[in-house]
Amino acid sequence: MISDQAKKQIDAWVAKYPEDRKSSAVMEALKIVQAENDNSLSAESIQDVADYLGMPGIAAAEVATFYENYNHKPVGKHVIRFCHNISCMLNGSDDLISHLEDKLGVKTGEVTKDGLISVKKVECLGACVGAPMFQIGDQYYENLTAEKIDEIVDGLK
């Protein structure tokens, strides 16, 4: 089930593409529906999106599993997407990821017991001159240090 609110958001994306190319909006539609469903996508919601855009379910599933930004397992309310690619690594991301894991008591890929936070290692996020960095939600946090991480994480609600 896609909410009316979500449908409205999807329709705004659909409007950007030629009329017979509704499926161009599938990437955003999946994100919108994901956001409505505790940040992860079930097979049913993928099918709903496919139906809404008039495409085969498997085609939407291909998209949902190809791109990184979709979750297929439960994740935290906040997902900390920690870059561990070359520039961040050169600047100590490995140690900082360990620090974060210790602080939260979870490994990457896991969710904290209260369901608030999960940590994911990701490839380069395109902010190499601000390495080390991570992303939470829409926001980038750059030039991280252990102290800075503590402060950011403590502020998450």
Partner 1 sequence: MNEVCFKNLDKKDSWSLAVYEASGGYSVWRKILRGELTPEQIIDELKASGLRGRGGAGFPTGLKWSFMPRNSAGQKYVVCNSDEGEPGTCKDRDILRYNPHAVIEGMAIGGFVMNATTGYNYIRGEFIEPFNRFEGALKEAYAAGLLGENISDSGVDFNLYAHLGAGAYVCGEETALLESIEGKKGQPRFKPPFPANVGLYGKPTTINNTESFASVADILSKGGKWFADLGVENSGGCKLFSVSGHVKNPANFEVSMGTPFKDLLEMAGGMRDGAKLKAVIPGGSSTPVLTADVAMAMTMDYDGIEKAGSMLGAGSVIVMDESTCMVETLTRLAHFYYDESCGQCTPCREGTGWLYRALKRITDGNGKDGDIELLLNVQDKIMGNTICALGDAAAMPVESFLRNFREEFEYYIEHGKSMVKG
Partner 2 sequence: MAKIEIEIDGKMVRAKPGEMLISVTDREGISVPRFCYHKKLSVAASCRMCLVDVEGAPKPQPACSTPISEGMKIHTQNEKSKSSQKAVMEFLLINHPLDCPICDQGGECELQDVAVEYGSDVSCFSEGKRIVADNDIGPLIQTDMTRCIHCTRCVRFGAEIAGIMEMGGTGRGDHLKIEPFLTEGVTSELSGNMIDVCPVGALTSKPFRYELRSWQMNSTSTIARHDLVGSNINAQTYKGNVKRVVSGDNDAVNETWISDRDRFSYEGLSHENRLLEPQIKIEGQWKEVGWHVALDYAVKGLTSNILNNHQSDQLGVMASKTSTVEEFYLLQKIAREIGSENIDYRLNIKNLDNTAKLESNIKLGGLEGVDHALIVGSNPRLEQPMINHRLRKASLNGTSVDVINSMKFDFNYQLNSENIIAPNQIASTLAGVLSSVLASVSIELPDYLQSIKVSKESASIAEKLNNSDNSVIVLGEHVVNAENSATIVNLIAQIAKHTNSTTLNLSTTANSLAAELTGFVPGSKGMNVNAMLESDLKAYILLDIYPEYDFHHADKAIDALNDKDNFVISLNGFKNDIVSEYSDVILPIAAFYETSGTHININGDMQSFAASVVAPGESKPAWKVFKVLADLLKLPGFNYVDSTQITEEVSHQAHNNHLHNENIDLSITSDNINIIWQQSPYSIDALLRHSGSLQQTKIGKLNFAYMNASVAKDLGVSADSKYLGVPVVITDAVADRCVFVNANKATQTGGES
Chain residues in the site for partner 2 (CB under 8 A):
43, 46-47, 56-59, 61-62, 65-66
Amino acid at 157: K
Is 70 within 8 Å of 85 (Cβ atoms)?
no
130 contributes a contact to partner 1 by CB under 8 A: yes
CA count, 13 A, side-chain hemisphere, 47: 4
Is 106 within 8 Å of 52 (Cβ atoms)?
no
**Secondary structure of residue 143 in the 3-state scheme:** coil
Consecutive H or E run containing 35: helix 26-36
Is 112 within 8 Å of 105 (Cβ atoms)?
yes
Give the shortest CB-29-to-partner 2 separation in angstroms: 16
Binder of residue 57, out of partner 2, partner 1, none (CB less than 5 to 8 A by kind): partner 2
23 contributes a contact to partner 1 by CB under 8 A: yes
Q: Which stretch binds partner 1 (CB under 8 A): 22-30, 96-104, 106-114, 148-156?
A: 22-30
152 contributes a contact to partner 1 by CB under 8 A: no
Amino acid at 12: A
Of 50 and 83, CB closest to partner 2: 50
* Residue in 40, 42, 69, 145 binding partner 1, rule: CB under 8 A: 69
**Secondary structure of residue 4 in the 3-state scheme:** helix
Q: Which residues here bind partner 1, judged by CB under 8 A?
A: 16-18, 21-28, 30-31, 53, 55, 59, 62-63, 66-70, 81, 84-87, 89-91, 122-131, 135, 138-140
